[in-house]
Chain A
Amino acid sequence: MADPKKPRAPFAPWDRRELPGIFTVEESARRVGNYKWIEMRLFEVLGGWVATVPELDVKLRLGTHCYHHAWHAELWHKRLPELREMNPDRLTAPANDQLVAFVDAMTEPEAPELTIEKLVGAYRVLIPHKIAAYTYHLNNTSTITDAPTIRSLKFILQDELDDWRDGEMLLQSLIDTPEEVDRAAAHQAKLEKLMLAAGGIAGPGTLGLGATSNGAAPDTQEAVR
């Protein structure tokens, strides 16, 4: 039986969490506001597309994934006040105008014969960019001070990866001809260029490269090193 008087270290030998993280509270809140904005745009358009796609399996997946991204938006909405943003709507904003242009282009397809374009926008462009941004955040924030964000990121990333796989498999099953391969690739290239101009879902610096929206290099904003 363990000796109740024997001192034990607060961190078990296998617990390698560390204090350092590269995000300040403010930078973390800014990013979370950007995340909430993009999750909202995604769940809205997936919901809107349900009525426009004739393929029953796609219709049902879009309906299911619509809720996943709404739930992500809700998680970020609830995280903002915990990051000292008491008015969550203030930071619920696109990273920049270029990201708005990306979303406008991604949400444009409506006709029933454009299911490939719809899925390419969501599953070959936006969701991979979200996975990248969330993974960057997960790997660079303080594992102790920012544990609540990490918990949300892990839940969300699980959904994103599952949904990306669903969407990619639907696309592969829909693309039957070389012409459709070209269509998918052309639409992907068009959207990727818009996303490139935006710098990612949180703007330049989404993945730690380039500048943040206020001009500062994100890697210089280390709270604790």
Chain B
Amino acid sequence: MRKSFPVEDLARDERFVRVPITARLSDGRQVPRPTAGQRRNGGRLTPDRPDSPDAARILMHGIFMGEVQALEGAGRTCWDFDVQNTARKKADADAADPATAGEPSTPEVPFELKLDMARQCWDEARHTEISVKLSEHMGTEIGEFAEATFLYEAACNPDPVLRLTGVNRALEGLAIDVFNTMREFGEVSGDPVLEFCEDWMLADEVTHVKMGSDWLRKLTEKDPERRERALEFQRVVDRLFSLGGFRGEEEDSPVRLARRFRELAGFDTTEIDELAEDAAAARRDVEAQIAQNREAATAQ
């Protein structure tokens, strides 16, 4: 089996349909519904919204797909990288030229990092199971909505530090925001099953983000340049996942930044403030895009 597994080869049964994020975001049909004002996403998820059952089902299907890809990404991190000392011994043994001894061809990670990723595999497998059950509970089914593969794409970074930062801090951080939003929706809509499950998943996600924060700190302790590259990659991923104002701190943001849980997971206030500012900028961008699309639609 190859080291590094491309997103286009992700194995799926016939129920799944993929839509690239670029196609989704550049879709000219992305104009706001008359009831949603300027919001592309329909605003905050509340039970009084007429479309809230559908919006909640769409979000739950998105969570399900995210969990599947998070499982796949963590699994690949178990496989794609060698354990530090094992890799070194093998490289020494393989090297014909003593000058190249100790230079492994596959990137190395600590044994304990792999153990964390294996633990994450189990957690994500459970989250997938929970999401399938919740999807049935909410009246949707596997494959009803399209799959976006951006989560797994972030999990393909060949540098383990960047991969961990992009997945465990940016994406799992998004999961904290999403699960907190869904938990609150379960609470205000009187759905104790949804609230209960989301609260459990939220606890796991805080653990996963903390893993990312801890490994970023440990692996780049003596390499500030690599840490900066990793944080920049995280910012790129975070901007992508602000999804044109999908996440933010405004009252009508479909997904709210969960400051308290992010702090528990190792984010400092400055980082969260930057995230909020990036999300606000992404929202301004998409609102401009929507206005452009609307003008084009009117002109036709």
Contacts and interface: CB of A to CB of B under 8 A. Distances in A.
B is a partner of A: yes
A74 interface: yes
Contact of A63 (B10, B111, B121): B121
Contact of A43 (B76, B78, B152): B78
B111 A47 contact: no
A60 B128 contact: yes
Interface stretch (A108-116, A147-155, A165-173): A108-116
Contacts of A63: 71, 74-75, 121-122, 124-125, 128
Interface in A59-100: 59-64, 66-71, 73-74, 77, 89, 92
Interface stretch (A10-18, A49-57, A184-192, A205-213): A49-57
A163 to B, nearest CB: 12
B115 A73 contact: yes
A50 B119 contact: no
Central interface residue in A45, A48, A61, A64, by most chain B CB within 10 Å: A48
B118 A112 contact: no
- Chain B interface bracket (under 10, 10 to 19, 20 to 34, 35 or more): 35 or more
A52 B1 contact: yes
A46 interface: yes
A48 B1 contact: yes
A132 interface: no
Interface in B78-126: 78-80, 83, 85-86, 89, 111, 114-115, 117-119, 121-122, 124-126
A219 interface: no
B11 A54 contact: yes
A40 B107 CA distance: 17
Nearest to A67: B122
A34 interface: no
B78 A53 contact: no
Interface size class of A (residues with CB under 8 A): 35 or more
- Interface of A, helix, strand, loop or mixed by DSSP: helix
B172 interface: no
Contacts of A56: 13, 68, 128, 142
A70 B118 contact: yes
Contacts of B228: none
B40 to A, nearest CB: 31
Contacts of B78: 43-44, 46-48, 66, 70
The binding surface of chain B is classed by DSSP as: helix
A107 interface: yes
B11 A107 contact: no
B118 A50 contact: no
A40 B1 contact: no
B71 A59 contact: yes
Contacts of A47: 74-79, 117-118, 121
Given A63-B125, A70-B114, A50 B75 contact: yes
B1 A54 contact: no
Interface in B1-27: 1-2, 5, 9-13
Contacts of A110: 1-2
Interface string A191-221: 0000000000000000000000000000000
Nearest to A77: B111
B152 to A, nearest CB: 8
A221 B68 CA distance: 49
Contacts of A68: 122
Contacts of A71: 115, 118
B129 interface: yes
Nearest to A55: B13
B72 interface: yes
Nearest to B124: A63
B13 A54 contact: yes
A60 B5 contact: no
A45 B79 CA distance: 6
Residue from the set A49, A66, A89, A110 with the largest chain B CB neighbour count within 10 Å = A66
Which 8 pairs of residues, A with B, have the shortest CB-CB distance? A48-B79, A47-B78, A70-B118, A47-B75, A63-B125, A67-B122, A50-B75, A51-B72
25 contacts: A43-B114, A44-B79, A45-B79, A46-B75, A47-B75, A47-B117, A48-B80, A50-B72, A50-B76, A51-B76, A53-B11, A54-B11, A59-B71, A60-B128, A62-B75, A63-B71, A63-B121, A66-B122, A67-B121, A69-B118, A70-B78, A70-B115, A71-B118, A73-B115, A92-B85
